[in-house]
Structure 1
Amino acid sequence: DGRLRMATQEEEELCFPQLANSSCRKLTLHWSKAVLLNTVLSFVSLSTVLLNLLIIISISHFRKLHTTTNVLLLSLAVSDFLVGLLLMPGEIFRSTACWFLGDVICSLYCYLVCQIVSGSIGSIVLISFDRYVAICHPLHYATRITLGRVKCCIGLCWLGAGFYSIFYVRDELIQPGRSKSCFGECTFVISYVTGTVDLVLNFIFPVSIIVFLYVRVFVVAVSQARAMRSHVTAVTLHCSVNAATKRSELKAAKTLGILIVVYLMCYCPYYSYSVVEVNVTSTVYASFLIFVFYFNSCLNPLIYALFYPWFRKAIRLIVTLQVLQPGSCDANIL
């Protein structure tokens, strides 16, 4: 009777009891800890989806917000929305439960992770370049940074991310499930070469560009701020309008600078650890590092809410359903 009870208990701990030796074991957590963990992670995921959806609706709906900078923010919001909608729930399911969706879906999930993350990083690089031109070369901004060019760059960015993702997960796409050690798990193991290429292309290279551009922006912004203060007593109406425009550009640069700092804080732990251990996903810290990585997508819209008055106004119009009224897209949201 005792042996039967022990055998039954062991079967309950297996993802696929019928497979016995080749089945993975379930994650054993006390029910209270499991409920708390899943509740917190699900709340973060839902918040990420809702907040970024508000940004997508705001910029897409109101014509006054159809600027080059906001279109870039829209691209970033779309990637953050997909992180909350697909990647966060997938990681919760992958790390806290048995994987019952099969090897093909696991390979597709790995592809989406790389595609969405690479698209997000590309969008942040484009945002940095946009602010660099706006602050450092304001006279050429209108001619160099047009809406058509920005949309083209965004399309190329996501297309490039798609091709890069195929390279990154090529082995998993060719042979789904090749990395798993037992039935009931979804793992992704990469070679040393692939891990090194990812570290360079998805972290070192974009971070170097971002830091270089924002150092230039910071230097020019400080000099402009000093110039504005020194001439504040002798301005005409025309000059005051120009000064207000400059202040707006400087504020946008400051806000997006905070965006970059938060991005680095969330991405650095994962990629720093990948220097020590190429296959981060195979370590015990994997889920924690990945969720810190993904948490950036939840923080971005909170930064917009704190520093962009138009976003707070847009939220009020969306929540009160005023966006459904005729002509609401022409509202002076600014």
Structure 2
Amino acid sequence: MNISDGSSIYPGGKVFGRFQFVQESPGVAIGSILVLTLASIIGNFGNILILVAVFTTLKTKSLEFIFVGKLAVSDSFVTLVVNPINILGKLEGEKIFHSVAEFCRGIACLCTISCVNSLGSIVLMSFSRYVYICHYNLYNKIFKKSTCFGMCFCLYMIGLMIILLNFVGIGDHSFNRKSLECIWDRLATYYYTVFFTVIFVWTPLLVTAIFYVTIFLKFRGSVKRIANATRHAQQKRPLYLAKTLFLIYTAFALCWIPYAILQVADHDDSFPLEIHVIITTFAHLHPSFNWLVLYHTNLLFRNAFNKLVHLDRCFFIFSKTNRQIRDDLVISTVVSHK
């Protein structure tokens, strides 16, 4: 959204030139650039690892892995494209995006679709675990490969609908002068900002939390009634996967809740630039570490990753068979005493 002389009409904030942000706020600038660079390297490696594991080693396992793979696809766009573009914006400033018409808006739109898909995938994972544990008789009716892929497709349609609202004057996507990145325009229309954060951040996070609380209460009540050890072993595995998915959800929530609060709270655009840069940088960390959660909490993914790239040589503490056995015994003991 530029005028003929090349100046921007994007609202709010200061227009930075090349390396100006680094010169004026070296601590925040260099820190955010280093964090985004490291997050991109780690995230690209991990998300590729997840995708290879899901579509090869684990392709015959639980249908939840379809959603895990879907999450890795969305996360890969952030680590492979969005983070490097954000680094470019902090180094070069806004004017570099003026030379390529609509480039920044396009990246911002795709970023929104990716974020909606990431959160949506987490909701679907929690919903599938909820149905499996609390309403098992409905699980095979609801969750088939065709319906799972259909749910994933619907997430893309929801993200696209959010983008299409911009064409009827509701919201916008542009270069944000406070966070120095291409992202949805929180200043375009305030009600769009509130709608976006409440409907597509707070509501899914709350619904997902309810699913996991219900799972915990259901499983806790079931375990107390179980006297047969074999039956107990069968009950443990669904909760084991639910624990992994819950940790992924928790990491996402911790990264995005501060961002959601900031977008609504700074309605008059009075907060310092440094706060926006730090919080948005923190929000974009979530796609980089899901694979570590999977590795450290899920034995299937741990074995798959070790088979592909021998991560056990790096995380040697998890390569010992007796440690794996001890982990399972600890989980079993804790659950059995609840």
Same fold? TM cut 0.5: yes
- Indicate conservation of the 8 Å contact 1:83/1:294, yes or no: yes
Computing the radius of gyration over CA atoms, which structure comes out larger, 1 or 2? 1
Is 2:38 the counterpart of 1:27? Answer: no
Q: Structure 2 vs 1, CA of residues 30 and 108 (structure 1 numbering), >3 Å: closer, same or farther?
A: same
Counterpart residue number, 1:54: 49
Counterpart residue number, 1:256: 245
Is 2:76 the counterpart of 1:81? Answer: yes
Deviating more after overlay: 157-166 vs 42-51:
157-166
Q: CA deviation at 1:246?
A: 1.5
Measure the CA separation in 1 of the matches of 2:73 and 2:8: 43
- Indicate conservation of the 8 Å contact 2:244/2:293, yes or no: yes
Q: CA deviation at 1:266?
A: 1.0
Measure the CA separation in 1 of the matches of 2:161 and 2:7: 39
Q: Structure 2 vs 1, CA of residues 300 and 202 (structure 1 numbering), >3 Å: closer, same or farther?
A: same
Measure the CA separation in 2 of the matches of 1:272 and 1:122: 19
SS in 1 for 2:21: coil
Q: CA deviation at 1:168?
A: 4.9
- The letter for the 1-side match of 2:191 is V
1:148 to 146, 164, 177: 146
Q: CA deviation at 1:74?
A: 0.8
Counterpart residue number, 1:243: 232
- The letter for the 2-side match of 1:162 is L
Measure the CA separation in 2 of the matches of 1:21 and 1:107: 13
Q: CA deviation at 1:280?
A: 7.1
Measure the CA separation in 1 of the matches of 2:124 and 2:105: 29
Q: CA deviation at 1:132?
A: 0.6
Measure the CA separation in 1 of the matches of 2:271 and 2:106: 18
Counterpart residue number, 2:131: 133
Deviating more after overlay: 106-115 vs 159-168:
159-168
Measure the CA separation in 2 of the matches of 1:44 and 1:168: 30
Measure the CA separation in 2 of the matches of 1:162 and 1:94: 25
1:93-172 superposed matches below 5 A: 93-99=88-94, 100-102=96-98, 103-168=101-166
Counterpart residue number, 2:217: 219
Counterpart residue number, 2:333: none
Q: CA deviation at 1:28?
A: 3.8
Q: CA deviation at 1:245?
A: 2.8
Per-residue CA deviations over 1:113-140 (Å, capped at 9, x if unaligned) read: 2111111111111111101101101232
What TM-score does the superposition give when structure 2 sets the normalisation length? 0.75
Q: CA deviation at 1:143?
A: 2.4
Q: CA deviation at 1:101?
A: 3.3
- The letter for the 2-side match of 1:29 is Q
Q: Structure 2 vs 1, CA of residues 215 and 316 (structure 1 numbering), >3 Å: closer, same or farther?
A: closer
SS in 1 for 2:105: helix
SS in 1 for 2:188: coil
Percent identity between matched residues is 20
Q: CA deviation at 1:211?
A: 1.9
Deviating more after overlay: 35-44 vs 21-30:
21-30
1:313-324 superposed matches below 5 A: 313-319=303-309
- Indicate conservation of the 8 Å contact 1:58/1:311, yes or no: yes
Q: Structure 1 regions of 5+ residues with no counterpart?
A: 1-17, 321-334
Q: CA deviation at 1:226?
A: 2.2
1:287 to 268, 277, 280: 277
Per-residue CA deviations over 1:164-193 (Å, capped at 9, x if unaligned) read: 12325766999x87x788xx9867342112
Q: Structure 2 vs 1, CA of residues 205 and 39 (structure 1 numbering), >3 Å: closer, same or farther?
A: closer
2:206 to 188, 205, 208: 208
Moved over 6 A (4+): 18-23, 279-282
Per-residue CA deviations over 1:256-290 (Å, capped at 9, x if unaligned) read: 12222222111110011222114779851222111
SS in 1 for 2:141: helix
- Indicate conservation of the 8 Å contact 2:240/2:298, yes or no: no
SS in 1 for 2:284: helix
Q: Structure 2 vs 1, CA of residues 281 and 148 (structure 1 numbering), >3 Å: closer, same or farther?
A: farther
Is 2:266 the counterpart of 1:277? Answer: yes
Per-residue CA deviations over 1:226-260 (Å, capped at 9, x if unaligned) read: 233xx04xx5xxxx2x4333110011112212222
- Indicate conservation of the 8 Å contact 1:273/1:280, yes or no: no
